[in-house]
Amino acid sequence: MGEAEAKGSSSKDKRWSLQGMTALVTGGSKGIGHAIVEELAGLGASVHTCSRTESELNNCLVEWKAKGFQVTGSVCDVSDQAQREKLINTVSSEFNGKLNILINNVGNNIRKPVSDYTAEDVSVLTSTNFESGYSLSVLAHPLLKASAAGSIVFISSVGSAMPANFGPIYGANKAAINQLGKYLAYDWAGDNIRVNTVAPALIKTPLAQRAFEGFEEGIKTTISRTPLGRAGEPEEVSAMVAFLCLPAASYVTGQVIFVDGGMTVNGLFFPAPTLKPI
């Protein structure tokens, strides 16, 4: 291999690597968050994650250490401001005041008709689904700016763009996240911080399984409206998230990207493949 070819190969490798970068992923002990931690760590990033459940977190940390991943963790309920501040202080100390990547992944839902929500329900959902991402982004801003190459990715939902049964407050929260990502991308571009949002549809996660428990017909209906004819895998979301954090995506910011098997295409009479269960 000639010198020029070797340099070109090295440059290309750096575009598709997170080696030497640092990342914070909220809610990384299961589902999409777990897949994101593994995706980023597999690409070379040093990752800190958090979970409300200490036993789940510790089990994951043992698993990741065995895989050779550089992952640490904290117990944290990101719906609480004091715990959010403590989390960012921990990350700042661990990563020497610099952070390349923030993944605001945490989300929760309470399934009810819209008129049945209490004020407490709305407060709990909003603090988890919207306020946590907003607050953590603001708290992490100095660390992201100090890295000179920051990237934030919010995890939203297809419910932010299409009404979904029993998810009105969740969907409204996620729609707000979509817009927040655009505003932060605009405001922080001068700090070399890119901000994007990934909005999955039905993904095989514990949250989705709980949401559809006893509602198998809902799963069939959802899949029947998905051109690819199946639910998605967490790794199919984490791959998109990782791409948005790579140097290769350095000109992508302010975008909402749906990872939904084509659901938001809103087509009619598309070829219907054999439906696969969730």
Measured CA distances, 201 to 26, 38, 52, 254, 263 (Å): 19, 21, 24, 20, 8
Cβ atoms within 10 Å of 29's Cβ, excluding its own: 22
CA dihedral 58, 59, 65, 70 (to 10 degrees): -50
The residue with tokens 């050779």 is: 68
- Per-position b or e across 40-63, b if 16+ CB within 10 A of its CB: bbebebbbbbbbbeeebbeebbee
The residues that are catalytic are 170
Burial class (CB in 10 A: 0-12, 13-18, 19+), 126: middle
- Cβ-Cβ contacts under 8 Å for 55 (sequence gap 6 or more): none
